[in-house]
């Protein structure tokens, strides 16, 4: 009698990645957001007042895609665009008060998501896995904190 089938690490990462992506999308949908919008909100929270061009470069996304994301967040009242006083051609992007409240909710949702996904592991195992995955990602020159979905 054979044991359970053995799958490679790449397959397991892909399987978990798809599951994690779907579950995260469901969680942030409850906040009226998409995963790309949440990534942009986090980038704006980290670097308030940055230009759209700099944010696009940081996220590795085409500027036209970023403008569409910014437009959507602005329509929801989560961010504000202000003209850069040094260069009136550029917009500086900030979280609004509502955006800051949403970021607090998003942080709670992300923590719950992490805890649910990693529930089978101890705190120590989670730290080891995170370190190993960070090493693998770095070995492929993946930008920390940037989802590959931003590239298109």
Rounded average pLDDT over 31-46 = 94
Q: Say which residue, 28 or 141, is predicted with more confidence.
A: 28
- DSSP calls for 49-115: TEEHHHHHHHHT--HHHHHHHHHHHHHTTSEEEEE-SS-TTSEEEEE-HHHHHHHHHHHHHHHHHHH
Instruction: Tell me what pLDDT residue 88 has.
Output: 84
> What rounded mean pLDDT belongs to the chain?
91
Percent of the chain predicted with pLDDT > 70: 93
Could you tell me how far CA 119 lies from the centroid of its own chain?
Answer: 21
Q: Which fold has domain 10-143?
A: Arc Repressor Mutant, subunit A (1.10.10)
Domain locations along the chain: 10-143
pLDDT in tens, 98-124: 999 999 999 999 999 999 999 999 999
| pLDDT over 60 (residue 1) | no
Residue 69: which pLDDT band, with cuts at 50, 70 and 90? very high
> 68 falls in which pLDDT band (50, 70, 90)?
very high
Listed residue (118, 116, 107, 117) closest to 33, CA to CA: 107
pLDDT exceeds 80 at position 145? no
Is residue 71 pLDDT above 80, yes or no? yes
Q: What are phi and psi of 73, to 5 degrees?
A: -70, -35
């Amino acid at each position: 009698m054979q044991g359970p089938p053995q799958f490679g690490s790449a397959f397991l990462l892909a399987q978990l990645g798809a599951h994690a992506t779907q579950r995260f999308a469901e969680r942030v949908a409850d906040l009226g957001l998409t995963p790309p919008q949440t990534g942009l909100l986090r980038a704006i929270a980290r670097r308030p007042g940055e230009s759209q061009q700099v944010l696009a470069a940081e996220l590795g996304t085409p500027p036209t895609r970023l403008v569409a994301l910014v437009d959507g967040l602005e329509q929801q009242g989560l961010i504000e665009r202000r003209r850069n006083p040094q260069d009136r051609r550029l917009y500086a992007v900030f979280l609004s008060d509502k955006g800051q409240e949403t970021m607090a909710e998003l942080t709670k949702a992300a923590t719950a998501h992490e805890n649910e996904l990693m529930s089978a592991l101890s705190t120590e195992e989670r730290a080891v896995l995170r370190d190993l995955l960070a090493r693998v990602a770095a070995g492929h020159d993946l930008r920390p904190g940037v989802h590959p979905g931003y590239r298109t």
